[in-house]
C-alpha cells in the first residue's frame, strides 16, 4: 500500500490517536524503546509513518504517550481509593485489589512498566515522579496511619509500599516463565487470576493486619 504524507491542515482525531497508541503499546512491550521501529508501528496501526509523526513529535514522545495513558488512569484510581473515608485496612485492600485488576487487564503493561522504569533519561524520570510520587506518598501515609492506630504491625512504610507493588506486579511480570515451566498452564485464565488475587489479599492481611485472619 502506498504511503502518503498527511495533507496540511489534517485534523487530529482521538480515534486515530488511540489506534496508534494501541499498536505502539504492543510493539514497545515486545521490542523496547530502542528496538521498536516507527515503520512497524505504522504498519500495525494501518497508517503511514508521516501520520504518526503528525501526532507525535518523536518515537520517545510516542513511548511516553503510551505510558502516560496507563499511568494517568492508574494514578486517578489509586488516589481516589487512598483518599476515601474508609479505614486504613480497607484502603490498603482496595488499593491492592485495584492494582491487581489493573495489571491483569493490561497484558503489555508489566513489560512496558519494566522498560519504562529502567529508562534513565530525565524526561522519563520526570514522568515517574509525576505519577508515582503522589501515589507512593499517599499509600505510605495510609500505612503509617494504620500503624499508629494499632491496626497494622509496625513496619518501614517505604519498604512496605515496595513489597505491596512487588507482590501485585511480579506474578504478571513472570507469567511467560510460569507458563513455560508449566507451573501454571495459563496465568491469565480466569480461575487462576481469582486464586492468585485471593492469595495476594490474604497475604497482605497476614503480613500487615494485627488480630485478623484470612478470608
Report the length, in residues, of the chain. Answer: 215
Q: Looking at residue 212, what is its pLDDT? A: 59
Binning pLDDT at 50, 70 and 90, where does residue 143 land? Answer: very high
- Average pLDDT (80-85) is 98
Specify the 3-state DSSP secondary structure of 52: helix
Binning pLDDT at 50, 70 and 90, where does residue 2 land? Answer: very low
Dihedral sign for Cα atoms in the order 199, 108, 59, 65: negative
Q: Tell me the pLDDT tens digit for each residue of 18-45.
A: 999 999 999 999 998 999 999 999 999 9
Under DSSP, the state recorded for 209 is B
Q: Looking at residue 183, what is its pLDDT? A: 79
**Domain ranges (residues) in the chain:** 11-56, 67-208
Could you tell me which residue, 119 or 147, shows the higher pLDDT?
147
- The angle formed by the CA atoms of residues 142, 148 and 151, to the nearest 5 degrees, is 75
Task: Report the predicted TM-score, pTM, of the whole model to 2 decimal places.
Answer: 0.86
Q: Tell me the pLDDT tens digit for each residue of 45-64.
A: 999 999 999 999 999 999 99
- Average pLDDT (130-156) is 97
Q: Can you tell me the distance from the alpha carbon of 133 to that of 139, in angstroms, rounded to the nearest whole number? A: 10
CA terminus-to-terminus distance, the chain: 57
C-alpha cell, 16: 486515530
Dihedral sign for Cα atoms in the order 48, 50, 51, 55: positive
Q: Tell me the pLDDT tens digit for each residue of 61-75.
A: 999 999 999 999 999
Q: Under CATH, to which class is 67-208 assigned? A: mainly alpha
Are 91 and 82 in contact by the 8 Å Cβ rule? The answer is yes
Are 62 and 40 in contact by the 8 Å Cβ rule? The answer is no
Second-level CATH architecture of 11-56: Orthogonal Bundle (1.10)
Amino acid at each position: 500500500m502506498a504511503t502518503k504524507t498527511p495533507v496540511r491542515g489534517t485534523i487530529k482525531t482521538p480515534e486515530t490517536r488511540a489506534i496508534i497508541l494501541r499498536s505502539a503499546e504492543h510493539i514497545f512491550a515486545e521490542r523496547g524503546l530502542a528496538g521498536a521501529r516507527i515503520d512497524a508501528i505504522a504498519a500495525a496501526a494501518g497508517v503511514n509513518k508521516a501520520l504518526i509523526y503528525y501526532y507525535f513529535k518523536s518515537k520517545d514522545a510516542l513511548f511516553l504517550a503510551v505510558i502516560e495513558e496507563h499511568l494517568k488512569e492508574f494514578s486517578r484510581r489509586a488516589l481516589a481509593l487512598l483518599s476515601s473515608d474508609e479505614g486504613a485496612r480497607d484502603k490498603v485492600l482496595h488499593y491492592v485489589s485495584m492494582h491487581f485488576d489493573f495489571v491483569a487487564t493490561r497484558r503489555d503493561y508489566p513489560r512496558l512498566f519494566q522498560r519504562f522504569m529502567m529508562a534513565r533519561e530525565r524526561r522519563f524520570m520526570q514522568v515517574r515522579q509525576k505519577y508515582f510520587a503522589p501515589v507512593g506518598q499517599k499509600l505510605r501515609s495510609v500505612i503509617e496511619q494504620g500503624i499508629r492506630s494499632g491496626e497494622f504491625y509496625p513496619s518501614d512504610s517505604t519498604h512496605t509500599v515496595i513489597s505491596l507493588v512487588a507482590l501485585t506486579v511480579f506474578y504478571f511480570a513472570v507469567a511467560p516463565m510460569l507458563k513455560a515451566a508449566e507451573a501454571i498452564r495459563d496465568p491469565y485464565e480466569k480461575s487462576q487470576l481469582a486464586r492468585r488475587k485471593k492469595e495476594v489479599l490474604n497475604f497482605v492481611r497476614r503480613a500487615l493486619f494485627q488480630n485478623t485472619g484470612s478470608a
